Structure 1
Amino acid sequence: MEMGVPGLPTPSIGLEAEMAALKTGVSAIYPEITGLPVLKNETSRFVKLFLNVDVSPQGCIPTVGSMMGGIMVFLVANRSDQTKESTLFIDPGFPVQKQQVKMLGQNYYSFDVYNYRGKKLRPKLESYLQTGKISTLLYSNPNNPAWICLTEEELSIIGELATEYDVIVIEDLAYFGMDFRKDYSWPGEPPYQPTIAHYTDNYVILLSSSKIFSYAGQRIGMLVISDSLFNRSYPSLLKYYSSDKFGHSVVFGALYALSAGVSHSAQYGLAALMKAQNDGTYNYREEVKEYAEKAAIMKNFFVSNGFNIVYDTDIDVPIADGFYFTISYPGMDGKELLRELIRYGISAISLDITGSERNEGLRACVSMVPRDLFNDLSARLKMFGEAHPIKNK
């Protein structure tokens, strides 16, 4: 349960489109750095149909996975204003994103959002933003590792403050539409995936194909930049790039230097998947809802054997079932719990490495646990509970 990798096969739509593209000879030609028009157009459609946001195809840029999209934004956004210097992470979060910032020699701040939900988020955020040091603010929604989902009220707070303090928001939608308490999967019909794009123009969105389309091995994601930000000028960028325009610096500065684009075939595959989703001939939710169904069963196994769910609510609403959940066991911290669970053949990762202040917790991922091992998991947890009786239960 430690690996956050997809556990479902890739839809044949993408595979067939890739193979067809390769047979036309695209492998012999460098891909256009800005991305294939068909993919850019379908991404723009996708953003409109499933987020209810208008963005030009120009600002829809293929990247070698969303991780590359993130480092591209750090390379540009964190150099856009010489008076600022850092990223603010709303934790818990994906540890590698902090590693990217450190690798670039940039600073960062972070806080665990657990005790700052709802209206409490505003003063906490403002305590960092009013320092004038923050260039970018990053969060994931749904959240890796906690699976909490920011509310519209919280997104509006982030958006208002981002505009007021001129901070660029990086919204990581790696688990797009996977808050299974609502169905976001019907093109052009509400409800829509909640997004910061409704509350500020200072945003970029990281769209991953890895989970929604089980396309992780092809390493392709989409970086979506608001029209306003794409065309905005930042004089400080001229120290690093040939243009002061944000979008130009992202594409012809950061992307060109990092990979010079994304492979043709992967772009054709993702374009076909997005077109099918946009046209309503394919529905990703029918595939990935397996994660929610497995999570509900697995969480019950843990809770029935004395475990607690660490991040258990979105303010006053029970947390969704999905790709991850978080667990703790009375009387143990996270490191001790992880060490003991390994003895029973049960793996996870400690929340310590995610920026969480809940050091008693672990993150469990459901994707790679097949249903035919559920009886084994239940039996092992029962043995664990018997060997570790809870005092004062």
Structure 2
Amino acid sequence: MQATPIKSEIVFEKIKASGLPNVGKASIRELVRLVNEIEIASGEKFIRMEMGVPGLEPAKVGVEAEIVALRSGVASKYPMIDGIPALKTEISLFVKNFINVDVDEKYCIPTVGSMQGGMASFLVGNRCQVGKDKTLFVDPGFPVQKQQLRVLGMGYETFDVYNYRGAKLKAKLESYLSKGDIATIIYSNPNNPSWICFTEEELQVIGELATKYNVIVIEDLAYFAMDFRKDLSKPGEAPYQATVANYTDNYILLISSSKAFSYAGQRIGMLVISNALAKKQFPDLKRFFSSDIFGYAMVYGAVYSLSSGTSHSAQYGLAAILKAVNCGEFNFVESVRVYGERAKLMKAIFLKNGFRLVYDMDEDQPLADGFYFTISYPGFSGEKLIEELLYYGVSAISLSITGSERIEGLRACVSQVQDGQIPVLEQRLATFHKNHPVV
């Protein structure tokens, strides 16, 4: 066996002991556990690109506000299920300032991360009409959202959007929506894992079809304003975060604090329901909830059942962050721009060493540099490439678990790679390239 940066016998034994039948199909958390065990056994630190977690310090204004709130005694008090007033006000203003959409603060709900917001959206959105109970994933996407639907016993359809960009999108979407059993559509924008960003034309198509077929769009804005080709940092000024909310009233926005504000550990996100949808009555909701009004069922049915509210102190922290952002005192976009700069550098190193980009274009424009990028290597499937890279101290996830049809590819996250590791990455990839020459 060729010499590798991580002792091959250690990697082999840890893979065997993991019980994973196929490392390339492992979930993100399973892969994290395996890499942790290899690091401990080998004493070597990996270039970790498998998990999309922030690599920056949390927004200080939020931390300080939480400390003040905790000292005031909020830890012993249950928060209101629909959120503290200060946070609801700032969420509504944030949506106006950075998306240019008007949403009543009443329909701005803090959740235990966007994960809970998604779960609540499925619980209500897929139960509005008998026989209309499936979700359509415009993939690739976040694998755990499909897991949520499996846990709920709900069905879903999926397609890889890469070959259906622009004018091709309408016919593809309509081929699913015309069947009459799709209740919700979900996608992320910018996209996890491919980092593609929908155009206004595409969002208009999604919005107009959602209205035509009475379908609810769940827009996952986990990487809010992180399309660094545009400066989205000035409150109340264009350009704004692109959104389907400009083209339909049938929308729910999931806005995360994890990446844009580096606040992942506090597990707090924002669920924003359009004014029109929140007020809409769906008689079939009475099968599961005490009210047939969508917004009421969401808060006092779904969110209440899932957690009975969101961490009290974290709400004060997020309220303070949003207030600073809304006032122009905290440029959150600039604070995370390092991800784009790091992605540009890392892409160049992979390409230099024989790798190729999988998703590389946004229609006719080069893909932005951001939180993720996607790679492949000639002669390897994505699943085999995952396993082989472990011997070289590099970890990522296979695109095959994200709903992508590009099974040769991997998703690489830049957030946990530190500046001092860049030369190590270059050395390890050079060794990989030498051991696996491209014919």
Please tell me whether the aligned partners of residues 92 and 102 of structure 2 are also in contact (alpha carbons under 8 angstroms). Answer: yes
- The aligned residue for residue 145 of structure 1 is 193
- The aligned residue for residue 240 of structure 1 is 288
- The aligned residue for residue 51 of structure 1 is 99
1-structure distance, mates of 2:237, 2:123: 36
1:162 and 2:210 equivalent? yes
- The aligned residue for residue 20 of structure 1 is 68
Give the alignment of 1:4-43 within 5 angstroms. Answer: 4-43=52-91
- What displacement does 1:339 show? 1.6
1:272 and 2:323 equivalent? no
How many percent of aligned residue pairs carry the same amino acid? 63
- What displacement does 1:26 show? 1.1
- The aligned residue for residue 272 of structure 2 is 224
Classify the secondary structure of the residue corresponding to 2:386: helix
Classify the secondary structure of the residue corresponding to 2:337: helix
2-structure distance, mates of 1:251, 1:326: 37
1-structure distance, mates of 2:128, 2:422: 50
1-structure distance, mates of 2:289, 2:220: 25
- What displacement does 1:83 show? 2.6
Please tell me whether the aligned partners of residues 233 and 334 of structure 2 are also in contact (alpha carbons under 8 angstroms). Answer: no
1-structure distance, mates of 2:105, 2:206: 25
Q: 1:178 aligns with which of 226, 246, 249?
A: 226
1:211 and 2:259 equivalent? yes
- What displacement does 1:179 show? 0.3
- What displacement does 1:306 show? 1.0
- The aligned residue for residue 363 of structure 1 is 411
Classify the secondary structure of the residue corresponding to 1:157: helix
Q: CA offsets, 1:161-201, max 9 Å, x none?
A: 00000000000000000000001111001000000100000
Give the aligned residue type for 1:96.
V
- What displacement does 1:342 show? 1.1
Q: 1:377 aligns with which of 425, 432, 435?
A: 425
Give the aligned residue type for 1:209.
S
1-structure distance, mates of 2:88, 2:357: 40
1-structure distance, mates of 2:383, 2:285: 43
Give the aligned residue type for 2:243.
T
Give the aligned residue type for 2:222.
A
- What displacement does 1:287 show? 1.2
Residues paired across the two proteins, number = 391
Unaligned 5+ runs, structure 1: none
- The aligned residue for residue 39 of structure 2 is none
- What displacement does 1:229 show? 0.3
- The aligned residue for residue 165 of structure 2 is 117
- What displacement does 1:341 show? 1.1
Q: CA offsets, 1:71-118, max 9 Å, x none?
A: 001000100011312000000000000000111000000000010000
- What displacement does 1:12 show? 1.1
Question: Which stretch shifts more, 221-230 or 28-37?
Answer: 28-37
- Per the normalisation by structure 2, the TM-score is 0.89
- The aligned residue for residue 69 of structure 1 is 117
Please tell me whether the aligned partners of residues 234 and 328 of structure 2 are also in contact (alpha carbons under 8 angstroms). Answer: yes
Please tell me whether the aligned partners of residues 210 and 216 of structure 2 are also in contact (alpha carbons under 8 angstroms). Answer: yes
2-structure distance, mates of 1:352, 1:382: 25
Q: 1:324 aligns with which of 372, 390, 405?
A: 372
Classify the secondary structure of the residue corresponding to 1:241: coil
1:285 and 2:330 equivalent? no
Q: 1:129 aligns with which of 160, 164, 177?
A: 177
- Per the normalisation by structure 1, the TM-score is 0.99
Classify the secondary structure of the residue corresponding to 2:351: helix
1-structure distance, mates of 2:401, 2:74: 41
2-structure distance, mates of 1:353, 1:131: 26
Classify the secondary structure of the residue corresponding to 2:236: coil
- The aligned residue for residue 389 of structure 1 is 437
Give the aligned residue type for 2:311.
S
- What displacement does 1:216 show? 0.4
Unaligned 5+ runs, structure 2: 1-48
